[in-house]
Amino acid sequence: KDTEGNYFVYLFTVGGYYAAYITADAERTIDLSVATEFSEADHYAFYSMQQILLYAVGPKLYAYDYVRNECKLVKDFEAEITHLAMDYNSNNDNNHFVVATYDDTAKKGVVYGYNIEDNQNEINVTPAEAEVWETGLKVVKVEYRNCTY
């Protein structure tokens, strides 16, 4: 964010194992007239397969394609989103991400798995089957230990 309230995404290329080989290739401005409530977002996650930025505002999850300048409300969870992150480690899938919510009134937390389609023409996000875990906790971070490596 700059001093005038504009938001940007920077694209980088890593050319080697050392930080000296990282170059900034491009800058994209977030169109706040399209990216609904972006300036109020609490959580962000970048989808590495396409130029899509997931972000959360309160109970709402959005997906914003910053190349095609398209934004989609993925879901209103009706409970505060407390965690949002891409999740490659649990199943070796670049298209998977996790959302955690917490309802302060009901004292109920839920962790959801989601998939995002690797499609450059549209934003397609779907719930992962059988990936809903209820808890009495307010989940603020999810980590996996993948024993296959």
Q: What is the pLDDT of residue 89?
A: 76
Statement: residue 81 has pLDDT above 90: yes
CA dist 112 and 42 (Å) reads: 18
Q: How far is CA 42 from CA 60, 62, 108, 144, in A?
A: 10, 12, 20, 22
CA dist 2 and 27 (Å) reads: 13
Q: What are 113-126's pLDDT values in tens digits?
A: 999 999 999 999 99
Regarding predicted confidence, which is higher, 39 or 48? 39
Amino acid at the residue 148: T
Structure pTM?
Answer: 0.88
Q: How confident is the model at residue 11 (pLDDT cuts 50, 70, 90)?
A: confident
Statement: residue 107 has pLDDT above 90: yes
Statement: residue 149 has pLDDT above 70: no
CA dist 94 and 125 (Å) reads: 13
HEC string for 29-90: ECCCCCCCCHHHCCEEEEECCCCEEEEEECCEEEEEECCCCEEEEEEECCCEEEEEEECCCC
